[in-house]
Structure 1
Amino acid sequence: MKSRKMIDKKVALVTGASRGIGKSICRTLAQDGNLVVVNYVANASEAEHTKEIIESEGGEVLIKQADVTDIVAVKDMFKDIKKRFGRLDFLINNAGVTDDGYFIMSTQKQWDRVIGVNLNAVFLCSKEAAMIMASQREGVIVNIGSGSAIVAQPGQVNYSAAKAGLFGFTRSLARELAPRGINVVHIAPGFIETDMTDILSKNFIEETFRLTPLNRWGKPQEIASLVKYLVNGGARCFNGQHFVVDGGRGSMETETGWQHKM
C-alpha cells in the first residue's frame, strides 16, 4: 500500500549508493525532500548504514540489492519501484568499478568487468528508467562518469574507454529522450576523496595536487550538490551537458612527468 506521503514525493534511484559519492548523493537528495532508493550489490552493512543516516535526518529511503549488470535483477528492481511508488523521477547512474593494470598485461575478464559495471549497467538501468519516465512525460537521468575519460591515465585503458563511452551515450540519449520530457546529463568528477582513492600512493596524491589549480581533491558532497541542482525543476534547461568537477585539472592535461602508481 502506498502512503500519500510517499506518492507526493519525487522518487530517486541511485545505483552503487552504499558509500562514497553515491552515499552522499542519497543523503543530499533525501534532505531535499525526495524519496531515495539506495541500490547496492554486495555491501549490505554499508547500505543499511546509509539508510540509518538518512532516516535519522528525517528522510524517506528504501534499500534495494541488485547487480546492475544483470538484466533480470535490473528489471525486477525497476518493476518493484514502479509497484511501490507508481513513479520514478530521477535515476543517478553512479555504480562504478576500477580494475587497473597495464594494457599488455590486462585480461578480457578485467575488460568485461569494467565495461560491464561502468557502461553496460548504465544502458540496462537507463532503458528501464526511460520507459517509466516517458509515461510520466518527465524525468532526469544523471550519469556519473570520470575525469579519466578526459585526462589520460596509464593503466586505465578499460576504465577510460568505459567512461568515454558514457559521455557519448549521454549526449545521444539526451537528444532522443528530450521530446519525451526526459533530461540526460553527465558529470565527470576528477579525484574525489573516497575509498576508491584511498589506495593511491602518497607521491601520486601529491603530484595530482600539483597538477590541480585548486591544489586539492574534490569531496563527495560537491558532486552531490551538483546532482541536486541538476535534478531540481529550475535547472531543466540542461540536457546532454557535460560537467567536469576536477578543480581545474583538465585545463592542465598537457602536463607530463608523472605516472599512475599502481
Structure 2
Amino acid sequence: MKKNNIKQEVITDFGKNWETYKQNRYIEKFNKPQFERYFKNFPWKKIKKHSKGFDAGCGTGRWAYFVAPKVGRLYCVDPSSAINVAKKNLNKFKNCFFYKKTLDEMPIKNNSMDFGYSLGVLHHIEDTEKALLDCVKKLKPKAPFLLYLYYLHDNKPKWYHFLWLIADTIFRKNISKLSFKKKYFFSNLIALFVYWPLSRFSLIMEKFGIKVDNFPLSFYRDKPFYVLKTDSLDKVGTKIEKRFTKKQINKMMKKCGLNKIIFNKNAPYWCAIGFKKN
C-alpha cells in the first residue's frame, strides 16, 4: 500500500481547524488584502478566462475565492474535512472542482495545468520537496507556480529567532500533543494574551513613526481578532511545522523544475513565484 506524504493526524487536525474557523462570513473582508500580498508577483496577464489551475491544500477555499472568477477551471485539493467547508464557501463558482486527496494522489494529469499555487501548506508535510515536485509535475511547461512556506527568520536579528525557539518549545511542541478542545482553548488564550497585546503594541509604535518590522507579531498589527485566533490555532495546533531560509526555498524550487524565481519583498515570508522549465 502506498504511503502518503502526510500524517493522518495532521490531516485530521487541520480539518478540525478549518471546521472551527470556516472563514465563511469573513472570507472577502479579511482575506482580500492577504490575497493581494501573496499574489503580488503572480503573472495574471498570462492567465486567460479558459485557463485551468489548482489550489494545492485549499483549506476553506479562502484563496480560491479570489482566483476562481479569473480562470476557466480551478481544482481545489485538500485531504481533510476542510474540503467540505471549501465547497460551501465556493458554491457560487461553478468552475471549481473539489478533490479530497493528498497531493501525491491528485487526480490531475501531469503537464496539464496552466498554473498552480500552494500557500502555507507544504511546510506541514513530511517531505516538503517531494510535495512540491508532485505539484510541479501537474504544470505545463512555462506555467507559474506560487509557493508560500514559513521562513526561518533569516531576514531577522538573531534574538528574534531565539525568541521564536523559546515560544515554539513552550507552546507548539506541547500544545500540539493535546486534544483538539484543549488546543482550541489554549490557542484562544495565546491569541488574547500574546498575539493581541504584541500586535497592538506594534500598531501604536508605528503611529509614532517607529519602524516595527522586527517587533514580534507586528505582521498582525492591523488584523482583526478573528484572524489572530485562526492563526494562533494554526501555529500551536500542528505537530509538523517546518521552516526554511530564502536560499533553501530557492534551491528547492529549482531542484523541482522551477526557474525565473521571484520572491516577494514584503511579509509574509517567504512567498515566491516560479515557472516550470521547458
* TM-score, normalised with respect to structure 1: 0.45
* TM-score, normalised with respect to structure 2: 0.43
